[in-house]
Amino acid sequence: MEKAKRVYDIYFPGCAFPSWVLDTWRNHEFSKTTVFYHGDESLEDVKLLMKHREPCNIGMGRLYDQKKMGRAFGYERGAYELSTSNKLMPNLAVYVRATVLVKGVLRKAHVINAIGLAFDRREQPDYRYFDGKPVGEIVAWYNRMWRLVLAAAKWSGCKRLKIFNVGGGAFAGPHGGDNFIRNIFEPAFAPLLLDFKQSGIEVDGYNWVAHRFHGDTIPDVLEVEDLDEVAFVNAWDPWSLIGNGNERDFSLDGAWGRISNMAVLGWSETNPFIQWRVAS
């Protein structure tokens, strides 16, 4: 909790996670947080990525006091900067049993935080790594990302998975819009539909006939769903704590962050009870 208070004050004004997270500490389900990663990746690198995270990084703009971060936690920038033009740091997915504030009431929700490729700035490691490579390599990368989500969905015990357009918003950059949906999302996700079905998990959130995501928004969709039965996918960031800029972040991640405690559940500095599981 002391580390949570410390990082709360390091964010730039308006970017921190909700203050009620600090006031309800004993109610957080820390031990449920589980990190899923591929077996061909280094667990040491995965743990470094979960430890060296930036409070807020929007479009490579670091909305936190980097000097204070260095003094408080021993690093100023996230471990994703260790990626090179030849090798990216591992992708991972994080399941949390989140506490969410819905219409003034604290409830529990199953959330799987998935990290898409960041093509929003040329200086992003993902942009540099995939620059000049065929789109098929991007599709293969996203297939592996969704396989992490599949593993986390199985782990959650939920029979429904509500998916969102991970990587297809601001992150998509030159690959955005219908191009991302038709040429990246669909060929990456479609091969997994049978795996989800055989696992007894119904995939919701995307219309394969209209080639469109349903347009569900957070927190509105939480008011109509049975939160014990469905797992939601959040579009996270390779750099930041979950929620990223929160009130000053208009992405899906920001929408989740400003109503939940996931920033502290999904960071190994504030959650020493994180579990680690190989997805494949």
CA-to-CA distance for 204 and 196, rounded, in angstroms?
11
**Structural domain range at position 226:** 2-278
Q: How many domains does the chain have?
A: 1
> pLDDT-derived band of residue 145, with 50, 70 and 90 as boundaries?
very high
Backbone angles phi, psi at 151, to 5 degrees: -60, -40
pLDDT at 80: 98
Edge-first strand listing for the sheet containing 202-204: 202-204, 160-162, 230-236, 105-115, 93-102, 34-37, 275-278
Q: Which residues contact 123 (CB under 8 A, 6 or more apart)?
A: 60
CA-to-CA distance for 162 and 213, rounded, in angstroms?
10
The percentage of the chain sitting over the pLDDT mark of 90, rounded to a whole number, equals 99
The percentage of the chain sitting over the pLDDT mark of 70, rounded to a whole number, equals 100
Instruction: Write the pLDDT tens digit of every residue in 47-58.
Output: 999 999 999 999
pLDDT at 269: 98
Single-letter amino acid, residue 146 = W
Single-letter amino acid, residue 10 = I
> pLDDT-derived band of residue 266, with 50, 70 and 90 as boundaries?
very high
Kindly report whether the global pTM for this prediction surpasses the value 0.95: yes
pLDDT at 1: 95
CA-to-CA distance for 32 and 14, rounded, in angstroms?
28
Neighbours of 179 (CB within 10 A): 14
CA-to-CA distance for 168 and 243, rounded, in angstroms?
17
Question: Among residues 223, 187, 225, which one has the least CA distance to residue 204?
Answer: 225
Instruction: Write the pLDDT tens digit of every residue in 156-214.
Output: 999 999 999 999 999 999 998 899 999 999 999 999 999 999 999 999 999 999 999 99
Question: Among residues 51, 5, 11, which one has the least CA distance to residue 244?
Answer: 11
Single-letter amino acid, residue 193 = L
Backbone angles phi, psi at 113, to 5 degrees: -90, 110
